[in-house]
Amino acid sequence: MPHIASWSGLPQAVRDHLAERMRDRNISVEDLNRLRLWIETKPEVPDGRWYKDFGSLKLCGEGKLPKTFLLKGQAATGDRL
């Protein structure tokens, strides 16, 4: 299984999209810190679609790439991590 990509390893378009979603969805610094700590563990992720539920937000991805943020209550698809 692949490991999630670090911020610097993401394509520019993906970084731009994630930054826009952070602003649009008013993701807090506390939430981003929990996300950062999780990513620093270099977790393995499935090759296909997946999501990680942090309670107040969900990070959704495919393979090693995180793709978007969802808010609590929004439905995610793929394997739950």
Q: Are 16 and 24 in contact (CB under 8 A)?
A: no
Query: What is the pTM (predicted TM-score) of this model?
Result: 0.82
Q: What pLDDT was estimated at residue 35?
A: 86
Tell me how far apart the alpha carbons of residues 57 and 53 are, in angstroms, rounded to a whole number.
6
Residue 50 has pLDDT above 90, yes or no: yes
Domain ranges of the chain: 7-73
Q: What pLDDT was estimated at residue 21?
A: 86
The mean pLDDT of the chain is 90
Q: Are 46 and 78 in contact (CB under 8 A)?
A: yes
The whole-number average pLDDT for the span 31-56 is 91
